[in-house]
A and B are shown apart, each in its own frame.
Chain A
C-alpha cells in the first residue's frame, strides 16, 4: 500500500505517519517512508511518502498513491499529483475535534475519524497502541463519523 501524507508544520503529519507505521509494524508488515520537511519551520510544507508491506524505499511515484491524506487544503493540486484518492477532513469534523477533546488529543480524535471513514485500516490496530487518554479520544472520533 502506498500512502502520502501532506500538510503544514504542526498539523500532525508526522504524528499520522508514525502511528500508521507503528500499527502496520505491529501487524508484522514492513514499512518504509521518506520525510520531506521544507526549510521554513512554521507553516512550511511537510510531506511523508510511505510504503506498507512492499518496496525497498519510501518514495511514492507521482500518480501511484493508493491514498493521500491531506491536512492542508491549499495543497490539493499537489496532493492530486500523487493519486486521485485524496482524504481530507470535513469542516464539521475539525470543529467537532476542537469541541469534544482538549488540544492535546485533537490528533487522535481525527485519527479516529480517518480510520472510520477511510476504511483503510482496522480500528483495533490503533486501539492496541494508544494509551488510555488517547484511546478515548480516538474512539470519540471514530464514533463521531456514524452520527
Chain B
C-alpha cells in the first residue's frame, strides 16, 4: 500500500491502469483532460505496453476504444459531459452489442457550469442507454470505482460508465493505492473461423437480432440492479439519499450540525440501475443529487421535482445548507457575500487576439461573428464573437445564417471563427456542406498547434504522438483545398499589413465569386514553452503625451497587460504582464503605443 497526493483524474488513471486497461482514447475537455496524460506517464514509468492517446473527437475516440475491447483488450474512453453527446451514437449502440473485454466510459460533468456549455448529467444518459454508472464521492473512490467499473464491465460484457464531476476530478487527496501494475502481455482475439456465425450476429446485428440483444441487455441490467445496494450512515427518521461529490458535503454537514439522530444518509455508489427499496419506516425520503433526478426518478422520492433541491446550478456545500434549512433541519446565522471575480481574457500576446482584431478591422462591427469552443470564445469581450453553441457550430451557423439572409435578399457579412482542434473535431462536415452549396462566408481558422483551452494537448498537426511515436501531421490547408475551397490563404496574424491585405482580398472574393473563403491564421500558443520562446520580444510603451484616454485599446483589443489609470485618464502598460509581442502598436488611433528602440 502506498499513499499519493492525487487529483481525482490522476486517481482514475491509476485505477484504470492497475485494473489492466491497455487501450485509452479520448478527446480533451475540462474537467476530464488530465486522465490520459497521467495514464501515459504511468505506462512510460512502469514500462507497460499500451495505446493511450487523443482522438479527433469523442465519437471516434469511443469507437476506437470500443473496437479494441471487442478484440479482447481492456479499454477505456475519456471525455467531458458534452463530449458524450458527440459519442452518443456508438455509446447507445454498444450497450446492445456488448463487449468482449472491459469497456469503461469516463464522462466528467461540470455542474455550475464552471467551464462548459451545459449542466447535463452523464448518469441520466447512462440510464437512457441502459449502461451501469458509478458515481464516486471522493478521490479515493475515484480510484476504487475506476477499478470496479473495469471489473463490472468485464464480468457482464457490457460498457460501464464512471461518472466524475469537477469537484472530484479537480479535487486532490491522499489516496491509498495498491500500485500493482499488470505487466501481462496483450492477447487479442476476434474473428474465429470456427463458430464465427454464432458471434457474427452480435457484431453486425440486423434489426431483428437487435431486439434479441436488447432483451439480453435487459436481463443483464436486472441482475446488476438486484445486486446494487445502498450504504446507510447515521440513524434518524428522515432519509436523505445522495451520490457523488454531494454525498460528501451532506456527510460533513450532518456531523457539523450534529444531525446524526435526525437524519439517515444513504449513499448510492451506482446510481443506475437501482431496484426498489422499502423506505416505509422513514418519515420522509429526499434525494439530493447533481444535476438531474436520476436516483429520485428510480426510487420515486422527493427532491428536485417538488422544489426542495434547486433545478439548476452547482449543489455547493452552501446550497446543501440551504436545502437542510428548507427542510427544517438547521438554522443558519449569517450568509456570506462573495465579490465577483474578474472575467477571464485571452493571454497577453495571444495570437488569437490580434487575428480577430484584424478580422474586425476589415469586416466591421456589422458583420456577424459565429464563434466556437476554444480560448477564442473570449473574443466575446472585444466584440468579435456573437454566437457560441457547440463544437463546430461556427461553420454550420455561417452556412445557416448566410442562407437565411440571402433568402430574404439581404446583404450580410458573416464570419465563422474556429480553432485548429475544433475544426478537426467537427468543423470539416459543415465546411463540406458550405462549399457544396456555394455559401459565401469567411471561415477563419485559428491555428496555434495546440488544444490550448484544456491545457495544451497535442493536435493532429504534430509529427509525434504523446508517447513519442512518429505520426503523420495533418495539414489544414490540404484538407480545406481537398474539400474544394478555392480561396485558402495562410498568414501569421502578427504580420499586420499582410493579414489586412489577405482579409480584404477574401472580402472581395466572397462578393465576386460567391463561394466560401478560408483564412488560416497561424501563430503558436504563447502559453506553451516553444510558443513563448519563439515569440518576438519588443519593448512597448504608451506615450503619456499622445494618449488621449479614448480606451480603444482596452475595449476593442483587451490585452490584460494594458491598464487604465482613471486618475490620469491614460492607458499604461503593466510591465510584468506584458510579454512584448508588439501587437498593440497597430491599435491606437492616436499612435500613442510605440516600440522602444
Query: Using a CB–CB distance below 8 Å, which chain A residues touch chain B?
Result: 17-18, 21-22, 25, 30-36, 38-45, 55-59, 61-63, 75, 77-78, 81
In the complex, are the beta carbons of B249 and A57 less than 8 A apart?
Answer: yes
Contact of A18 among B5, B174, B251, B348 (CB under 8 A): B5
| Residues of chain A within 8 A of B385, CB atoms compared | none
Contact of A57 among B167, B336, B346, B577 (CB under 8 A): B167
Nearest chain A residue, comparing its CB with the CB of B114? A36
Nearest chain B residue, comparing its CB with the CB of A40? B344
CA distance A109 to B46 in the complex (A): 35
User: Given contacts A57-B252, A59-B316, is CB(A39)–CB(B170) below 8 Å?
Assistant: no
CB distance from A29 to the nearest CB of B (A): 9
| Residues of chain A within 8 A of B252, CB atoms compared | 55-57
In the complex, are the beta carbons of A77 and B339 less than 8 A apart?
Answer: yes
In the complex, are the beta carbons of A44 and B344 less than 8 A apart?
Answer: yes
Query: What are 17 residue pairs bridging A and B, where the CB atoms are less than 8 Å apart in the complex?
Result: A34-B172, A39-B375, A39-B378, A40-B345, A40-B346, A41-B527, A42-B348, A42-B560, A45-B341, A56-B248, A56-B252, A57-B167, A59-B167, A62-B338, A63-B334, A78-B338, A81-B336
CA distance A35 to B3 in the complex (A): 20
Q: Is B309 at the interface (CB under 8 A from chain A)?
A: no
Contact of A35 among B171, B174, B245, B336 (CB under 8 A): B171
Give the interface residue-count category, chain B: 35 or more
User: Given contacts A40-B345, A42-B560, A62-B318, is CB(A35)–CB(B249) below 8 Å?
Assistant: no
Q: Is B129 at the interface (CB under 8 A from chain A)?
A: no
Nearest chain A residue, comparing its CB with the CB of B172? A33
- Which B346-403 residues have a C-beta within 8 angstroms of A? 346-348, 375, 378
Contact of A39 among B5, B338, B344 (CB under 8 A): B344
User: Given contacts A40-B560, A45-B341, A78-B338, is CB(A32)–CB(B171) below 8 Å?
Assistant: yes
CB distance from B376 to the nearest CB of A (A): 12
CB distance from B97 to the nearest CB of A (A): 38
CA distance A56 to B249 in the complex (A): 8
| Residues of chain B within 8 A of A39, CB atoms compared | 115, 344, 375, 378, 453
- Which B139-198 residues have a C-beta within 8 angstroms of A? 139, 167, 170-174
CA distance A71 to B248 in the complex (A): 29
Beyond A25-B174, A59-B249, A62-B338, 11 additional contacts (C-beta under 8 Å) are A31-B172, A31-B173, A34-B167, A35-B170, A36-B114, A40-B344, A40-B347, A40-B378, A57-B249, A63-B336, A77-B339
Nearest chain A residue, comparing its CB with the CB of B247? A56
| Residues of chain A within 8 A of B173, CB atoms compared | 30-33, 58
CA distance A21 to B173 in the complex (A): 9
Q: Is B342 at the interface (CB under 8 A from chain A)?
A: yes
CB distance from A117 to the nearest CB of B (A): 25
| Residues of chain A within 8 A of B138, CB atoms compared | 32, 56-57
In the complex, are the beta carbons of A43 and B378 less than 8 A apart?
Answer: no
CB distance from A1 to the nearest CB of B (A): 14
| Residues of chain A within 8 A of B316, CB atoms compared | 59
CB distance from A104 to the nearest CB of B (A): 16
Q: Is B122 at the interface (CB under 8 A from chain A)?
A: no
Of all A-B residue pairs in the complex, the 7 with the closest CB atoms, nearest first, are: A40-B344, A62-B336, A56-B248, A32-B173, A39-B344, A57-B248, A81-B338
Q: Mark B115-150, 1 if CB is under 8 A from A, else 0.
A: 100000000000000000000011100000000000
| Residues of chain A within 8 A of B248, CB atoms compared | 55-57
CB distance from B176 to the nearest CB of A (A): 10
In the complex, are the beta carbons of B170 and A34 less than 8 A apart?
Answer: yes
| Residues of chain B within 8 A of A55, CB atoms compared | 248, 252
Q: Mark B217-252, 1 if CB is under 8 A from A, else 0.
A: 000000000000000000000000000010011011
